[in-house]
Chains A and B, each alone.
Chain A
Amino acid sequence: MGHAHLLHRPGDTPVHRLAPQVKVVAALAFVLCVVTTPRTAFWAFGVHLALLAGVWVIARVPPGWLAARALIEAPFVVLALLLPFLSGGPAVDVLGVSLSQTGLLVGWNILAKGTLGVLTSLTLAATTSPRDLLVGLQRLRVPSMVITIATLMLRYLEVIAAEAQRMRLARVCRGHNPRFLWQAGATARSVGTLFIRSYERGERVHLAMVSRGWTGRMPETGTPAPTRAWVAGLAPALLAGLAVAGTTLWP
């Protein structure tokens, strides 16, 4: 998996070098804090965002790079924007438009927590290569069978993409010249063929991996993370947790 990855931004910063298992646990803990934050504690969401921004500065990830990839969230939140118009309950006037108060709060809740969650996973993905992520999960004692399937899956994604590309090329060579969405018809009809071709190629890839000594586990390099790394890695999640605790004092 030494290939370029859409969401991975290679680098050599303290965040990139941090042991992957620490990063996985830290990301989970951070999102848990975000989800637990009461939706009316607006300042706490600002704290969460500032903590993430701090990580981006250390990791040298430009916000614009993240923003472009955060658009993946769009289908989830597009309807959150409609809630203020559709929900019932007491109404408030915003710029002359009567909006539902509950709807505003619920929409804000989903938008804020969803966005912070996506930004957190993007930060993890940007600073951790897929290979490192598998090593991290392995060190967190994820069953080796799960690691095996996940490793093969990440490898086969590229096999499938390459086979689909080859089949498209073959169709075009035979005079098939669809535009835009009309390609979908031919692709859908050949999905079974794509699967078989990918499988037979994947079988050879698997045999090649096995004959080079692959046992289903990621080769373990490096040493267990020192306590210092755990403290540094979990610091943002800890601060977010303090912010959540603070919301009970200053709601």
Chain B
Amino acid sequence: MTAPVAMHMSDGLLNTPTTVLFLGVAVIGVAIAAVKARADLDDRAAPMAGLVAAFVFATQMLNFPVLAGVSGHLLGGALAAILVGPWVGALCVSIVLVVQALLFSDGGLTALGANITNMALIGTAAGFGVALALKRLAARGKAGLVAVSFIAALVNTVVAALGFVIEFAIGGDAAFSLGTVAATVLGVHVLIGIGEGVITALTVGAVAAARPDLVYLLRGTAKPLELRGKAAA
């Protein structure tokens, strides 16, 4: 199983100023998402948000080593954004990363800021941006929605990996050349992105078939119920 995001970094991979910088970026981003999410999170959406978070959590458990201190895995940001919206989605992925770091020791505590920036903020934003741009295709039918989910998840994974490369360029250890890092990380994440795209497409397709009312991306696209004859009271 996989989720959409690029990578977890462990402690000690980035230097302290970079760590602090991206911690600040993450805190501001999550605070904005928390404010915006309030409008989206009603009683019906709360269990969906919790389940999306749990699902992303489960899929992020599969890790592949990419470089020393870096592992790649599914990210889940596109899945979260399509099902619960970008704000709640970013919150869900952030929560997954925080709980993983605190309870499961996955990803360094000090790299949390950079990890949240990549996977929860950049990745989710990219995935949702793609999905929004292709919304008309997604609203056309199941095949369209599945295709859009796949593309959004693939873009999400690669863009999140790109975020990591930028952070590494700013404050990474100079033992690796930037070119090697970029090529390795992006190459691996194109492959992961395809896996991620398949899982996201399967999941979104199943949800849209059973409960289209739960898919955030499809809000406002449902055809109004057609009433024939005026006798119905």
Q: Which residues of A contact B (CB under 8 A)?
A: 7, 24, 27-28, 31-32, 34-36, 69-70, 72-73, 75-80, 82-83, 87, 102-103, 106-107, 109-110, 112-114, 116-118, 120-122, 124-125, 130, 133, 143, 145-146, 148-157, 159-160, 187-189, 191-193, 195-196, 198-199, 202-203, 205-206, 210, 216
Contacts and interface: CB of A to CB of B under 8 A. Distances in A.
Interface in B6-28: 8, 10-13, 16, 19
Contacts of A76: 8, 10, 65, 68-71
Nearest to A36: B16
Nearest to A205: B47
A117 B112 CA distance: 12
Nearest to A189: B202
B211 A117 contact: no
Residue among B8, B34, B103, B209 with the highest chain A CB neighbour number at 10 A: B103
Interface of A is mostly: helix
Nearest to A164: B58
Given A31-B11, A114-B108, A121 B50 contact: no
Contacts of B46: 148-149, 152, 206, 216
A157 B102 contact: no
Given A80-B68, A196-B211, A153 B16 contact: no
Interface of B is mostly: helix
A149 B103 contact: no
Interface of B: 1, 8, 10-13, 16, 19, 34, 37-38, 41, 43, 46-51, 53-55, 57-58, 63-71, 88, 91-92, 94-96, 98-99, 101-106, 108-110, 173, 175, 198-199, 202-203, 205-207, 209-211, 214
A156 B175 CA distance: 42
B37 A112 contact: no
Residue among B55, B66, B108 with the highest chain A CB neighbour number at 10 A: B108
A12 B103 CA distance: 19
